[in-house]
Structure 1
Amino acid sequence: MWIENKIFQEDMKTITEASYIPWVKLRNKTILVTGATGLIGFNLVSALAYAHLYKNIPLKILALVRSREKAENRFQEILEAGAPLDFVVGDLDHIPEIDAHVDYIVHGGSPTASKYFAEHPVETITANLNGALHLLELAKENKSESFLFLSSMEVYGGIHQHEKVDEHHASFIDTMVPRSSYPEVKRMVESLCACYAEEYHVPAKVIRLTQTFGAGVRKEDNRVFAQFARSAMNHEDIVMFTRGETEHMYLYTADAVTAILTVLLLGKTGEAYNAANEQAYCSIKEMAETVANLSIIREKFNGPVSVVIDESKNNSKLYPPELYMDLDVTKIKQLGWNAKYDLKEMFTRMIAANHHCI
């Protein structure tokens, strides 16, 4: 997938033509991206490559990857197009020395599956901490122009009442629950960013992303949005293992990339920014019903698919308790950013762009 895909090409144009992003700051710069083969990282690297190839923004991209072979396959079309993309082979526990001067760092590398957090909580913590420490040191040594850590809405923990959640909202996380390894280590890395900014003047910033999906989803992705879309496209019931009463916002991949670039280039050092689409606030059950009733599904099968709740397989270790995450995005919008795609558009575009993977 790349610009031969109509949806993906539209996404790349949307990102690179965003007037509020000061692309001139990236001219002749080197950007290091971790988590590059993941959904958000892939879209970010693709957008940077597109800016270089089609928008006359000379730059260089370094991507931290675990396997050069898999990365070359993931980015095959981009490499064939002549994008200035090089790979740094390693992982968050073992990041090799980087000889090139690094001007910008976007740290998005992290496990993302709830099943992994629950089964490997120690590795979730150590990988995130080791990687962040190494990369913040790299930013310090290089006197990098900006460092951005991709955090998560999960740092706020379980909020059991309806309220707006801004960047100064208190966190409620039970540290004695192994699945809390993910939000707790995200909090710790956020603290490291603030400390490096204060003590060593590293221009570190944090963006707290809500769940993001869209073009570029891989066939093996098993997160809830992919499961729902896959079931619908296979004309199967959308089966939920909880009542789906948790409520929060979602974000389309292209909107996530514009948010990342906005905070990277315009955000204030030592501060955090929520990123979500306020128009996509809903319960998980409402999200399932949205997918079941998409026009693309109804037209394909002459009607919607069914949404079924089966709580017999509910595993409290995998699924966090019901919460309400109504993020306040006033702060990032003050930088000029705004989300473009609503929930129906997110799923419609994801399915259209990734029909071979769904």
Structure 2
Amino acid sequence: MTRILVAGGLGFIGSHLVERLLRREDVAECVVVDNLWTGSWRNLAHVEDSRLQILVEDVERVCLAGKFDEIYHLASPASPPWYMAQPLRTISANVVGALRLLDVLAPGGQMAYTSTSEVYGEPLVSPQPESYRGFVDCTGPRASYDESKRCVEAMLFEAHRAQGVRIKVVRLFNVFGPRTRVDDGRAVSNFVTQALRGRPITVFGDGAQTRSWGYIDDIIKGLERYFWADGVDYPGPLNIGNDREIPVLEVAEFIQRRFPKCPIVHLPAPPQDPTNRRPDLSLANRVLPGWTSLVPYEEGVERTIAWFRREMRPGAAAKRPLVANASAKAIGQNLRLV
């Protein structure tokens, strides 16, 4: 039987991944470590499974008993406003967190890491293949996230080469969907929450910058197949995302048409905001034959609007217990505060 650890398992992507892991009959225990920096216990509050244990603690400092057969490292904020506000903490979560997790990996176990398209920086090549080394400013305002992700990739591949550690590294492109924070700060969630509040939809710069929006269900299916379901023996890095490239302004206009009373306003562009993002999925098509992003961004946005509408309705949050007095019925008494 398999013992699993998920760092960042109460976050947006991490919680969806935990749900998929718990579908496996070979899982004896799934331990989630999350400090609730950007995650929320509510993301797994509906799960009633005795195999799930949740430790509320920084991944760098958590005390863990024994070794784990599979470790998934997702313990990092991914939104620029969040990682720019606490850059040293971001670097620590990624780099020091990875070192801590390697310490508790069982011999012959697998370490999986969700890296990011941000390792490509301001790309001079489009679409971006995994072989592209990127164009990153290692001292710029986004460096805490970009470079700490690159550092963990380097660390894991060195562990793989020098010590034979089994690794899986994915580079995710602009994932969106339900369980994103209301105050996440990235484009889709920003536009949706602003519109639902009846406020102007704010676009940074002229909105011509492009992104490749991947709906969470499609991305999680790709992670499931790569990390465990298909028995893939390829360390990565592997691009996972939607290769349909869309300007940010087009997404804002799509949402604004559903909320016509909310005007689009333009704000100054943030520093070093990448002009384009589009994954080259040639390698993913070979490693994961038949996998693709099935949900078009239009449908994904509609689903996201519906989810945020429920989350933001008056009294919705008040009906849920806070972390300090939570746990019992919410997650089957599996929440442990440390």
Pair in the same fold by TM > 0.5: yes
Shift in Å, 1:186:
0.5
Answering whether residue 212 of structure 2 is matched by residue 249 of structure 1, we say yes
Q: Does 1:331 align with 2:283?
A: yes
Residue 62, structure 1, aligned to residue 31, structure 2: yes
* SS in structure 1 at match of 2:46: helix
- What is the CA-CA distance between 1:36 and the residue it aligns to? 0.9
- Amino acid aligned to 2:83: F
The letter for the 2-side match of 1:308 is V
- Residue 11 of structure 2 aligns to which amino acid in structure 1? G
CA shift, 1:264, in A, is 1.1
Residues 287 and 71 (structure 1), Cα distance of their counterparts in 2 relative to 1, 3 Å cut: closer
Aligned partners of 1:200, 1:64: CA distance in 2, in Å? 26
Identical columns (%): 25
Pick closer, same or farther for the CA change 1:326–1:71 going to 2, 3 Å.
Answer: closer
- Paired residues for 1:1-358 under 5 Å: 28-49=1-22, 51=23, 59-66=28-35, 73-78=42-47, 81-99=48-66, 101-139=67-105, 142-160=106-124, 163-265=126-228, 266-279=231-244, 281-293=245-257, 297=258, 303=260, 305-311=262-268, 314-316=269-271, 320-334=272-286, 335-336=288-289, 337-358=291-312
Structure-2 change in CA distance of 1:304 and 1:145 (3 Å):
farther
Superposed CA deviations along residues 48-94 of structure 1, whole A, max 9, x for unmatched, are 33x25xxx665431101226xx965542221xx33521123421321
Question: Structure 2: how far apart are the matches of 1:199 and 1:250?
Answer: 36
TM-score (norm 2): 0.83
Measure, in 2, the Cα distance between the counterparts of 1:71 and 1:343: 25
Q: CA deviation at 1:270?
A: 3.2
Instruction: Give me the whole-angstrom Cα distance separating, in 2, the residues matched to 1:267 and 1:154.
Output: 24
Distance 2:274 2:185 in 1: 20
Q: Which of 108-117 and 338-347 deviates more?
A: 108-117
Change (3 A) 1:144 1:339: farther
Matches of 2:10 and 2:95 in 1, distance apart? 20
Give the Å deviation of 1:47: 2.6
What amino acid sits opposite 2:79 in the alignment?
A
**Aligned CA distance change for structure 1 residues 43 and 201 (closer, same or farther; 3 Å):** same
Give yes or no for contact 2:81–2:185 (8 Å, CA) kept in 1. Answer: no
Give the Cα–Cα distance (whole angstroms) in 1 for the partners of residues 104 and 311 of structure 2: 36
Any unmatched runs of 5+ in structure 2?
313-338
User: Which one has the bigger helix percentage?
Assistant: 1
Partner of 2:333: none
Q: Structure 1 residues 236, 304: CA separation in 2 closer, same or farther (over 3 Å shift)?
A: same
What is the Cα deviation at residue 287 of structure 1? 1.6
Q: Measured at CA, do residues 196 and 272 of structure 1 come closer, stay the same or move farther in structure 2, by a change above 3 Å?
A: same
Per-residue CA deviations over 1:17-73 (Å, capped at 9, x if unaligned) read: xxxxxxxxxxx3222111111100111112333x25xxx665431101226xx9655
Provide structure 1 residue ranges, at least 5 long, that are not aligned to the other structure.
1-27
Alpha-carbon shift at residue 253 of structure 1 (Å): 1.1
Between the two proteins, the alignment pairs up a number of residues equal to: 306
